[in-house]
Amino acid sequence: MQEYLSNGRLLRLCLKELRESLRDRRTIMTLIMMPILVYPLLSMAMQRLLLGAGNAPSAQLEYVIGVPDESTARVISLALRETQRAASEGVRPSIEILRPAPKDANTNPNSGPSSEVDNDGNSPGVNSVEGNSPGEKSEQKSSLENGNGINSPTVGAIRTNQQAAFSIVVPERTTVSNSLADGQLDLAIRSASFERFPLPNGVSLPVFGFEMEFRDGDPRSEMAMAEFRKAMQLINDYQSAILRGNRLPASVTLVSNAVGQRADPMASLAGVLPLVLILMTITGAVYPAIDLTAGERERGTMEAMIATPAPRFILLLSKYVAVVTVAVLTALANLFASWITLSLGGLGRALLGERGFSFWTLIQIFPLLVIFAAFFSAILLAMCSFARSFKEAQAYLIPVMLVSLAPALVTLMPNVEFSTLLGIVPLVNILLLSRDIMTGASTALPAFAAVLSTLLYAAAALVVASRLFGGESATSGSQESWSDLMRRPKRRFPTPDIGELAIYLALLFPVFFVTTNLAGQWVLSIEQKLLVNALLLFGLFLLAPFFFAIYRRMELKQTFLLRLDGAESPNGLPRPVRLIGVLAASCLMAAGLWIVAYETLKLLSDVGFGTIDLQKTAALEDAKSRFREVPFWLIFVTSALIPSICEEFFFRGFVLSAFRSRLHPIRAVIYSALLFGVFHVVNGYVLSIERFAPTAILGMALGFLAIRTGSLWPGILLHAIHNGLLFWLTRFNQSELAEWLGSNSKHFPTAWILASVGSIAIGIVVLYFSTLKRSDEVSP
């Protein structure tokens, strides 16, 4: 493959594909004409929508009121029944309410007759008692109309031309306030009081007091609050009418509290823009993807092309570069067109709040679109590589687009939060991340997961595409299918190749991310947490790759470097001496490396890069003292021994072997170390970027050791000692450390640091002499 990449050949191959795409008028149409047309039209539609939104009545008629217990619910039912009575007596409310009788009153399921228990299952897991607002029955309506005077103009902020119904629920397993904040309730009534106020004439008047909460800025919640207030006002009016001016305490006292941050009422619309941008990026990529794969076959150039000695992956890569370029150009054109449209029309502010669609937002969104283009182009190529004609490619793509559109539409719904776990859902993650960036509310961990997982999926899709591209099925007409990709190979392979690694990583990362996240969120004791983490590592980094390697018929000894000692060394040293030398070198390097790792972390924290202190990595501040109570052997086994075995198996075994199958060992070590670092950034359910550098440094040392010795075992020893020492450090509290390391307890004394560097240097020298003349292990 190397000769194909020399002298700019890859660049020339990419240029050919780009020429082919960009000289085609149809590509240019999508690239330039679509953005010019789409955004002004979209902006016009949006403007109409926004103009309408100001006056539009809430379509939902039934509001959900949450109460803490059933006695509160009963008080509310009672109050609402009072309201009904007031309405049926024809009280003219002091606040005028416009209520035209709806023609479909009987067909509207929400305005059915009152029932005590509501079993409609709208809110699973909540008990529901339903009360009704005034004017449920037709005679009530007519009386209300009479009292109201339909011609009288509405006054004040409370204005409705629809009926309102309330269902009362008692949330289970959570408080009403939380439930309100989650959006499951429209209104929360935290407390209700009820008593009867005796009148001299022997009648007693009901007196109510309510304390309620609503979500500030949420139109639906505000509407529910207003409707409830109106209903209660009707009781007051009724009673003051009965009492004819007698000064008595108000029958209903209402206290309402606005809770939560004032949500942007247009927040859900902010999701539209990323969706349109993503859809346009897809549109830009579709035509070139079909044209450069299935089109190649249709024009009759495919066979001549794959009959050449050019590796298929290179052929596909050049096509991929072209498709991504066109997609990115389309994305750029759309981004600018939308930016100009939104900035000019003032629509940006209406959609995205005060900040509007700033140029800075554009700069932040662009890389996301590039990542998305990289991902979707790979998917498109994988689909089209399988097709034999344009028509067939289109037939494959349409379902894919529709299927990907469905979850995309979900992101448009209000209250869809970009939770951590959604970070690994392709397409949805990029959409939600773009939306959050536009509204200025993005968070680091899901953003990291979104970017990394999308890139990994892209790589895996590209590998699949290159295996399908120009395959036997495409040229000969035999009935081969996708399942061939997954089939167990017939011959044996010495090690995994980079393609298999890409596919494995695309499967591993989401599983790893979700499981570590869930494990981090479970409320478990520290001991259980340690055990669960160790089990996860064992499953994902040792067992799974091991079975994968067996299934794909790889040589296990070669893939996982299972030999204790590589080939016989010709330097004349007896085997035990060599082994002892290697082990001593591992120990010496470990003795120095843990201090280097600690200092790197500290340094990164000092310059403000870090998010957490090293001593907090093991357990957060509140758990620190409890962590010290855990027996050290348990910490050593779960956090040093098992991780070192599992991670060495995966990163220095599987990953390094895969990279070495195609790359120079030095590059292979660097790439595997970077991957090692990236996987350590996801630390439970927190993102610790500062762990990347020290882990990658350790990864390079371990990779170097693995290549030099041809064995995994010295690395396991080094890794275990390194982790063990770092965790041993967490056994001490600040004052103990200060006593031990001197007053400057944040850093090791200079002498220690120098000693550690010396130890690493001696370790390298010992390693060099113990593995001398093993040139076969270091040459490419």
CA end-to-end distance (rounded Å), the chain: 14
Rounded to 5 degrees, what are φ and ψ at 563?
Answer: -70, 145
Q: Pick from 94, 301, 419, 525: which binds other proteins (CB under 8 A)?
A: 301
Closest CB 4 distance from other proteins, rounded Å: 6
Asked if 309 interacts with other proteins (CB under 8 A), we say: yes
Closest by CA to 428, choosing from 283, 272, 276, 275, is 275
Closest by CA to 335, choosing from 393, 284, 391, 406, is 284
Q: Which residue has the tokens 């035990």?
A: 576
Q: Pick from 200, 300, 576, 631: which binds other proteins (CB under 8 A)?
A: 300
Which span (262-270, 470-478, 526-534, 633-641) binds other proteins, by CB under 8 A?
470-478
Asked if 739 interacts with other proteins (CB under 8 A), we say: no
3-state secondary structure of 211: strand
Which span (299-307, 326-334, 443-451, 614-622) binds other proteins, by CB under 8 A?
299-307
Q: Burial letters for 285-300: b for 16+ Cβ neighbours within 10 Å, e otherwise?
A: bbbbbbbbbbbbbbee
Asked if 491 interacts with other proteins (CB under 8 A), we say: no
> For residues 150 and 69, what is the distance between their CA atoms, to the nearest angstrom?
39
- When the beta carbons of 3 and 116 are compared against other proteins, the nearer one is 3
Asked if 481 interacts with other proteins (CB under 8 A), we say: no
Asked if 24 interacts with other proteins (CB under 8 A), we say: yes
3-state secondary structure of 480: coil
Q: Pick from 19, 196, 262, 391: which binds other proteins (CB under 8 A)?
A: 19
Closest CB 384 distance from other proteins, rounded Å: 17
Which span (170-178, 307-315, 355-363, 676-684) binds other proteins, by CB under 8 A?
307-315
Which span (310-318, 330-338, 359-367, 516-524) binds other proteins, by CB under 8 A?
310-318
Closest CB 479 distance from other proteins, rounded Å: 6
Closest by CA to 86, choosing from 203, 251, 202, is 251
Residue 40: both structure tokens together: 């002004």
Whether the CB-CB separation of 760 and 596 falls below 8 Å is answered with yes
> For residues 600 and 559, what is the distance between their CA atoms, to the nearest angstrom?
31
Composition of the chain by helix, strand, coil, percent to 5: 65, 5, 30
Asked if 103 interacts with other proteins (CB under 8 A), we say: no
The Cα-based distances of 157 to 114, 289, 719 in angstroms read 28, 55, 68
Which span (88-96, 123-131, 306-314, 651-659) binds other proteins, by CB under 8 A?
306-314
- When the beta carbons of 477 and 631 are compared against other proteins, the nearer one is 477
Residue 7: both structure tokens together: 């002298």
- When the beta carbons of 471 and 703 are compared against other proteins, the nearer one is 471
Which span (165-173, 471-479, 586-594, 743-751) binds other proteins, by CB under 8 A?
471-479
- When the beta carbons of 295 and 703 are compared against other proteins, the nearer one is 295
Q: Pick from 28, 34, 259, 310: which binds other proteins (CB under 8 A)?
A: 310
- When the beta carbons of 168 and 393 are compared against other proteins, the nearer one is 393
3-state secondary structure 716-743: HHHHHHHHHHHHHHCCCCHHHHHHHHCC
Asked if 12 interacts with other proteins (CB under 8 A), we say: yes
3-state secondary structure 585-641: HHHHHHHHHHHHHHHHHHHHHHCCCCCCCHHHHHCCHHHHHHHHHCCHHHHHHHHHH
Asked if 308 interacts with other proteins (CB under 8 A), we say: yes
Q: Residues 317, 321, 327, 330: what is their CA dihedral angle, to the nearest 10 degrees? A: -160
Asked if 475 interacts with other proteins (CB under 8 A), we say: yes
Closest CB 324 distance from other proteins, rounded Å: 19
- When the beta carbons of 20 and 690 are compared against other proteins, the nearer one is 20
Q: Pick from 472, 606, 621, 736: which binds other proteins (CB under 8 A)?
A: 472
Q: Judging by DSSP bridges, how do beta strands 682-683 and 187-198 pair with one another?
A: unpaired
Q: Pick from 107, 479, 743, 775: which binds other proteins (CB under 8 A)?
A: 479
- When the beta carbons of 130 and 298 are compared against other proteins, the nearer one is 298
Residue 491: both structure tokens together: 């011959």
Closest CB 35 distance from other proteins, rounded Å: 23
Which span (226-234, 296-304, 502-510, 625-633) binds other proteins, by CB under 8 A?
296-304
Q: What is the DSSP string of 325-359?
A: HHHHHHHHHHHHHHHHHHHHHSHHHHHH-TT-S-H
> For residues 733 and 346, what is the distance between their CA atoms, to the nearest angstrom?
57
Q: Which residue has the tokens 């009672």?
A: 78
Which span (19-27, 92-100, 154-162, 556-564) binds other proteins, by CB under 8 A?
19-27
Q: Pick from 33, 155, 307, 567: which binds other proteins (CB under 8 A)?
A: 307
Asked if 89 interacts with other proteins (CB under 8 A), we say: no
Closest CB 753 distance from other proteins, rounded Å: 52
Q: Pick from 57, 147, 156, 311: which binds other proteins (CB under 8 A)?
A: 311
Closest CB 477 distance from other proteins, rounded Å: 8
Asked if 3 interacts with other proteins (CB under 8 A), we say: yes
Q: Judging by DSSP bridges, how do beta strands 187-198 and 62-66 pair with one another?
A: parallel
Q: Pick from 55, 107, 201, 476: which binds other proteins (CB under 8 A)?
A: 476
Q: Burial letters for 521-551: b for 16+ Cβ neighbours within 10 Å, e otherwise?
A: eeeeebeebbbbbbebbbebbbebbbebbee
Asked if 7 interacts with other proteins (CB under 8 A), we say: yes
Closest CB 296 distance from other proteins, rounded Å: 9
Closest CB 36 distance from other proteins, rounded Å: 23
Asked if 20 interacts with other proteins (CB under 8 A), we say: yes
Closest by CA to 229, choosing from 260, 204, 254, is 254
Give one word for 656, left, alpha or beta, with left for phi > 0 and alpha for psi -120 to 50. alpha
- When the beta carbons of 9 and 662 are compared against other proteins, the nearer one is 9
Whether the CB-CB separation of 516 and 533 falls below 8 Å is answered with yes
Residue 22: both structure tokens together: 């960009």
Closest CB 396 distance from other proteins, rounded Å: 21
- Angle (CA) 702-512-674 rounded to 5° is 35
- When the beta carbons of 310 and 755 are compared against other proteins, the nearer one is 310
Q: What is the DSSP string of 685-727?
A: TEE-GGGHHHHHHHHHHHHHHHHHHS-SHHHHHHHHHHHHHHH
- When the beta carbons of 11 and 623 are compared against other proteins, the nearer one is 11
Q: Pick from 33, 44, 305, 398: which binds other proteins (CB under 8 A)?
A: 305
Question: By rule CB under 8 A, what count of residues binds other proteins?
Answer: 30
Asked if 485 interacts with other proteins (CB under 8 A), we say: no
- When the beta carbons of 479 and 483 are compared against other proteins, the nearer one is 479
- When the beta carbons of 303 and 621 are compared against other proteins, the nearer one is 303
> For residues 633 and 165, what is the distance between their CA atoms, to the nearest angstrom?
62
Asked if 23 interacts with other proteins (CB under 8 A), we say: yes
- The footprint of other proteins (CB under 8 A) covers 3-4, 7, 9, 12-13, 16, 19-20, 23-24, 299-301, 303-311, 315, 472, 475-479
